[in-house]
Amino acid sequence: MLKQELIEKNPIRHLKGESDAKESSRMGLVMARAGVGKTALLVQIALDSLLNDKQVVHVSVGQSLDKTKLWYDDMFKDIAEFCNLENAGEIHDSIMHNRMIITFNESKFSRAKLEERLHDLVQQNVIKPSCMVVDGFDFAKTDRAVLEGMRDLATTMDLQIWFSAVCNEEADCQCASGIPAPCKGMEDLFNTVVLLQPVSQSDCIDLKILKGTAAVSKCGKLLKLDTKSFMIRENCK
């Protein structure tokens, strides 16, 4: 498989925001219970941007640099294997130049600091990201203002930002009535919200689109993803 085909197979292609939102400055949210694969999907989203020769900043709160880097290496390997990607090594080396990881301690993270860091990067001409993923952001401890600030950041820097959030066990049954806690009442800030749910006795993960529409109508609001590579599976519809 070639790089181009790989891009087309990425689940992110199916996650279009609401029609009026600009593609480049939207905010997305990935929700799941602990251990289902939020980070994996975020890395997947980042990899998609990277494969499109765009630059990505990965903000990791509470995880070490090495671990985050491993996520990328592993995900890329899994995806490359899943899709039989040709000259994977070369593509890997070329796209990783466009990725930048910033790690923060849980207690040290703040929007102002992040913004300062980003401006630094752009000014020094190190990177000009068009996508940012924020992993480990604690929604339970943040208020709307911080997220609104992030939204402004997305607009001013022309950046799409994806967050991950942990929801509790009951989230599964709540999702019919809207966005589960801890992000309840913040859905208007996001263009896309998805929920990951493991499917018992299966090698798939359900990706439910809670907000935003799927680009391909036949998929409806539910996508099936491979548990390892997080690519769309065709054989388990």
Partner 1 sequence: MKDLSKVRNIGISAHIDSGKTTLTERILFYTQRIHAIHEVRGKDGVGAKMDSMELERERGITICSAATYCDWKDHSINIIDTPGHVDFTIEVERALRVLDGAVLILCSVGGVQSQSITVNRQMTRYRVPRVAFINKCDRTGANPDKVIKQLREKLGLNAVPIQVPMGLEGDMQGLIDLVKMKAVYFDGENGDKLRVEEIPAQYKDECDAKREELLDAVSMFSDELMEAVLEGTPTEEMIMAAIRKGTLSLEFSPVMMGSAYKNKGVQLLLDAVNDYLPCPTDVDNFALDLDHDEAEVKVTNQPTDPLLALAFKLEDGRYGQLTYVRTYQGTLKKGDSIVNVRTGKKAKVGRLVRMHSDEMEEIEESGSGDIVALFGIDCASGDTFTRGDYNFSMSSMHVPEPVISLSITPVDNKAQDNMSKALNRFTKEDPTFKTYVDQETLETIISGMGELHLDVYVERMKREYKAEVTVGAPQVAYRETITQRADFNYTHKKQTGGSGQFGRVAGYIEPLEEGEYEFVDQIVGGSIPREYIPSCDKGFQKCLEKGSLVGAHVTGVRCAINDGASHAVDSSDIAFQLAAMGGFKEAYMKAKPVIMEPIMKVAVEGPTEFQGSIMGSLNQRRGMIIGTNEEDAYTVIEAEVPLSEMFGYSTDLRSLTQGKAEFTMEFATYRPVPKSVAEELISKAQKKDKK
Which residues contact partner 1 by CB under 8 A?
58, 64-65, 68-69, 93, 96-97, 100-105, 108, 113, 117, 120-121, 123-127
- Strand, helix or coil at 3? helix
And the tokens for 204?
């798939």
CB 127 within 8 A of CB 55: yes
From the list 1, 3, 10, the residue with the least C-alpha distance to 216 is 10
Return d(Cα 197, Cα 204) in angstroms, integer: 9
Minimum CB distance to partner 1 smaller for 63 or for 155: 63
Most distant CA atoms of the chain, gap in Å? 50
CB 168 within 8 A of CB 140: no
Minimum CB distance to partner 1 smaller for 44 or for 68: 68
Nearest distance from residue 171's CB to partner 1, in Å?
A: 29
Nearest distance from residue 145's CB to partner 1, in Å?
A: 22
Nearest distance from residue 112's CB to partner 1, in Å?
A: 13
Nearest distance from residue 121's CB to partner 1, in Å?
A: 7
Minimum CB distance to partner 1 smaller for 18 or for 86: 86
How far from 98 is each of 126, 213, 232, CA to CA, in Å? 9, 29, 25
Minimum CB distance to partner 1 smaller for 65 or for 236: 65
Nearest distance from residue 218's CB to partner 1, in Å?
A: 39
Residue 20: other Cβ atoms inside 10 A: 6
Minimum CB distance to partner 1 smaller for 114 or for 207: 114
Nearest distance from residue 82's CB to partner 1, in Å?
A: 20
Facing residues of 100 across strands? 57
Minimum CB distance to partner 1 smaller for 102 or for 167: 102
Q: What phi, psi does 168 have (nearest 5°)?
A: -85, 180
Nearest distance from residue 47's CB to partner 1, in Å?
A: 15
From the list 37, 29, 10, the residue with the least C-alpha distance to 212 is 29
And the tokens for 4?
């181009």
Minimum CB distance to partner 1 smaller for 65 or for 199: 65
Residue 211: other Cβ atoms inside 10 A: 19
